């Protein structure tokens, strides 16, 4: 089996579960290439076949470098230097972790804009094991200045966020997931209040919202939602907290990734913080399902309910 055959089978295996966000991304970029001559797409074998239509119409702006993830980001940086608006796409660990030095230097240090679009998130497709999991991706990008980070919870949010990103010139990380909430929410700047309560504030990021709502259905807390974690809405959190000094942060990636942002937002406000996310204290070596991984990390409704009620009292 060739590398291309392997990744083709990978995409077929994923089709039933990630068609929504990923296909929305592909359709949006393909359509935008017809009207915006700046937009280019760079892949490293994974998902290359999904841009066949775009390649047929714009062969000079659709580049597949093969299984060379560092080269993918290097080419992305080079295209940006020529004035194009490049979009690079792959599984999260192959897009963020493996070519991180190129992200730091070829994009950040050269101060050029690009859009990095990942799929697979923390453990969306655990059948492939740890090689295809990257719960530390947002924390890693967060070490670099000048990045906007989107974590949509619905395919309609992908379309809105991506359309805005394609029209810009900055550095954007768009983290797609095979998981999604039942409905889309506004994607403008700031938190969206979904539920109001008196015992604390729960911040739900991206596809964690439905689980948070289920977990807090009988808990007297405010629930805030966001699909954009950088820049972080400091003012929105301050306004929502008021005298509710209990803050719970629920993120679908490494636990505590945005804890420092909460601390910054509430620097002058006495508060307590509970950060929930993918655990840092042990390596999960089981395959299983994404839902089983949620349960291991306490990110399923039952686990969230237990943690949140113990915290807010």
Task: Give the chain as a 3 state SS string.
Answer: CCHHHHHHHHHHHHHHHHHHHHHHHHHHHHHHHHHCCCEEEEECCCCHHHHHHHHHHCHHHEEECCCCHHHHHHHHHHHHHCCCEEEEEEEHHHHHHCCHHHHHHHHHHCCCCEEEEEECCCCCCHHHCHHHCCCCHHHHHCCCCCEEEECCCCHHHHHHHHHHHHCCCCEEEEECCCCCCCCCCCCCCCCEEEECCCCCEEEEEHHHHHHHHHHCCCCCCEEEEECEEECCCHHHHHHHHCCCCEEEEEEEEECCCCHHHHHHHCCCCCCEEEEEEECCCCCCCCCCCHHHHHHHCCCCHHHHHHHHHHHHC
| Residue 11 in this model has a pLDDT that exceeds 80 | no
Residues 170 and 197 in one domain: no
Average pLDDT over residues 49-74: 96
Domain assignment of residue 184, yes or no:
no
Do 228 and 271 lie in one domain? The reply is yes
Q: pLDDT tens digits for 152-172?
A: 999 999 999 999 999 999 999
Would the pLDDT of 15 be above 60?
no
pLDDT over threshold 90, residue 87: yes
Residue 86 lies in a domain: yes
92 plus 218 within the same structural domain: no
Residue 180 domain flag: no
Query: Which band of pLDDT confidence, cut at 50, 70 and 90, is reported for residue 18?
Result: very low
For residue 265, being part of any structural domain is answered with yes
Mean pLDDT of the region 204-208:
98
Reply yes or no on whether the pLDDT at 14 is more than 50. Answer: no
Predicted structure pTM score: 0.93
**Please, which pLDDT band fits residue 2 given cuts at 50, 70 and 90?**
very low
Average pLDDT over every residue of 32-36? 98
Same domain, 138 and 283: no
Q: Please compute the mean of the pLDDT values over residues 96-122 and round it to a whole number.
A: 97
- Can you give the pLDDT at residue 121? 85
Q: Are residues 147 and 210 in the same domain?
A: no
Residue 188: per-residue pLDDT = 82
Together in a domain, 267 and 301 = yes
Q: Do 153 and 11 reside in the same domain of the chain?
A: yes
Domain containing residue 213 = 192-312
Question: Has residue 146 been placed in a domain?
Answer: yes
* d(C-alpha 232, C-alpha 229), whole Å: 5
Residue 183: inside a domain, yes or no? no
Average confidence (pLDDT) over 279-285: 92
pLDDT at 140: 98
Q: Is the pLDDT of residue 1 over 60?
A: no
Average pLDDT over residues 93-97: 97
Q: Residues 214, 274: one domain?
A: yes
144 lies in the same domain as 261: no
Task: Tell whether 136 and 212 lie within a shared domain.
Answer: no
The reply to whether 136 and 206 lie within a common domain is: no
Report the domain count for the chain: 2
Supply the CATH number for residue 24's domain.
3.40.50.970
pLDDT surpasses 80 at 3: no
């Amino acid at each position: 089996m060739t590398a291309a055959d392997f990744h083709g089978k990978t995409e077929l295996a994923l089709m039933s579960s990630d068609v929504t966000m990923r296909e929305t991304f592909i359709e949006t970029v393909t359509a935008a290439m017809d009207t915006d001559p700046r937009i280019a797409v760079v892949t490293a074998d994974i998902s290359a076949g999904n841009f066949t239509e775009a390649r047929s119409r714009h062969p000079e702006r659709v580049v597949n470098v093969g299984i060379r993830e560092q080269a993918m980001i290097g080419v992305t940086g080079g295209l940006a230097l020529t004035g194009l608006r490049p979009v690079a796409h792959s599984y999260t660990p192959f897009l963020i972790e493996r070519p991180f030095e190129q992200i730091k230097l070829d994009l950040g240090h050269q101060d050029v804009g690009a859009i990095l679009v990942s799929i697979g998130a923390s453990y969306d497709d655990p059948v492939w094991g740890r090689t295809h999991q990257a719960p530390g991706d947002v924390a890693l990008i967060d070490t670099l200045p000048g990045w906007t980070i989107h974590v949509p919870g619905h395919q309609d949010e992908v379309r809105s966020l991506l359309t805005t990103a394609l029209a810009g010139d900055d550095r954007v990380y768009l983290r797609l997931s095979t998981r999604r909430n039942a409905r889309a929410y506004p994607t403008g700047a700031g938190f969206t209040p979904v539920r109001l309560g008196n015992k604390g504030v729960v911040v739900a990021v991206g596809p964690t919202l439905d689980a948070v709502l289920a977990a807090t259905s009988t808990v007297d807390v405010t629930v805030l939602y966001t699909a954009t974690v950088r820049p972080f809405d400091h003012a929105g959190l301050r306004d929502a907290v008021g005298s509710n000094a209990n803050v719970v942060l629920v993120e679908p990636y490494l636990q505590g990734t945005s804890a420092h942002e909460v601390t910054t937002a509430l620097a002058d406000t006495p508060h307590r913080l509970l950060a929930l996310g993918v655990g840092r204290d042990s390596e999960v070596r089981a395959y299983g399902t994404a839902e089983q991984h949620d349960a291991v990390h306490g990110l399923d409704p039952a686990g969230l309910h237990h943690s949140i009620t113990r915290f807010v009292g």
